[in-house]
Amino acid sequence: MEHSRIREINLTVPVEFVLLGFSDIPKLHWYLFGIFLFVYVIILLGNGIIILITRVEPTLQTPMYFFISNFSFLEICYVTVTLPRMLMDLCTLKGNISFHACAIQMCFFLILGATECFFLAVMAYDRYVAICNPLYYHLIMSHKVCNQLVFGSWVTGIPIQVGQTYQILSLPFCKSKQLNHFFCDIPPLLKLACGDIFVNEMIVYIFAVLIVTVPFMLILVSYSKIISTILKLSSNTGRKKAFSTCSSHIIVVVLFYGSASITYLKPKSDVYEGTDKLLSLFYTILTPVFNPLIYSLRNKDVTGALKKFFPRLFAL
């Protein structure tokens, strides 16, 4: 009797998990390694250049580019939580990850994901003030306020997501230790848990609604007021310029929120595990890739700064 109880306890505290990742297509692992390594380098270079030019170019010393610079730094951190580990797994064809390493990865991933949601809402508010209250823009979006908004975005999600991580990894895991994913995330971990986890699933859902939906609603409110203001402008040139300053942010919001919302707010199912991994690639990798492209190619100020920056860089 005592032996079976000890065995049951051991089953509830796994030593490690196994990330299956892309093990179902082993023949392509070197191609995937090359693709994801290239993507990682592009993310580091692209977002790094955005951070650099917003620091050195005087014309980009504005609140909007201050937020874009911080957002680019966030994207680098966000992708570094998952991609290097995935590259190592593709290289070694081993997906073993210790329980504590899995907990740390998931905790940082959730914190940075929450921070991205808040950042996107802050950037929408910045555009709202710039377009709807242009005369008071620099007064409202002072250096102190911008720093407070950035700091708030970084720290707001920390206690929530640390609690999320603890409550998920405190569950009994008595099924297979194989995670059908390329990093430790809530949906695949919940699929391994045994017993009645309805309360845990509801907590995850409630927090997802709070962290994903509330900032998204703030973004919708900001843009509804922005669009209303733009439509009242008499000049077509003014309308076009106002829309162009918002379009880049809207594209990033749609890419990130679209895939993240489907992943975390859809009903639990074993049928669409491959789709879950594909959607995860969107909000963990593709958004950080597109971020510098979207904000540079669609922005005349950034392209102008790049044209001045690179000749100076190569002249050194």
Per-residue model confidence (pLDDT) at position 298: 61
> What is the CA 173 to chain-centroid distance, rounded?
27
Specify the residue for token string 């929530």. Answer: 160
Per-residue model confidence (pLDDT) at position 267: 59
Which domain CATH number covers 72?
Answer: 1.20.1070.10
Q: Which segments of the chain are extended strands (E)?
A: 16-19, 96-98, 178-179
Predicted confidence pLDDT, tens digits, the chain (316 residues): 444 444 444 445 678 899 988 877 778 888 989 999 999 999 999 899 889 988 888 888 899 899 989 999 999 999 999 999 999 999 988 889 999 999 999 999 999 999 999 999 999 999 999 999 989 999 999 999 999 999 999 999 899 899 999 999 888 887 678 898 899 988 889 888 887 888 888 888 888 888 888 898 999 999 999 989 888 877 777 677 777 778 778 888 888 887 777 766 665 555 555 666 777 787 788 788 887 777 766 677 777 777 777 676 555 5
Number of structural domains (the chain) is 1
Q: Cβ of 155: how many Cβ atoms within 10 Å?
A: 12
For 295-300, the CB contacts below 8 A with 24+ separation are: 295/50, 295/68, 295/248, 296/46, 296/50, 298/244, 298/247, 298/248, 298/251, 299/244, 299/248
3-state secondary structure at position 96: strand
Token readout for 110 is 């959730």
Specify the residue for token string 């997906």. Answer: 95
- Residue 223 to residue 204: CA distance in whole angstroms: 28
Structural domain containing residue 154: 2-315
Give 173's DSSP letter.
-
Token readout for 133 is 């209250």
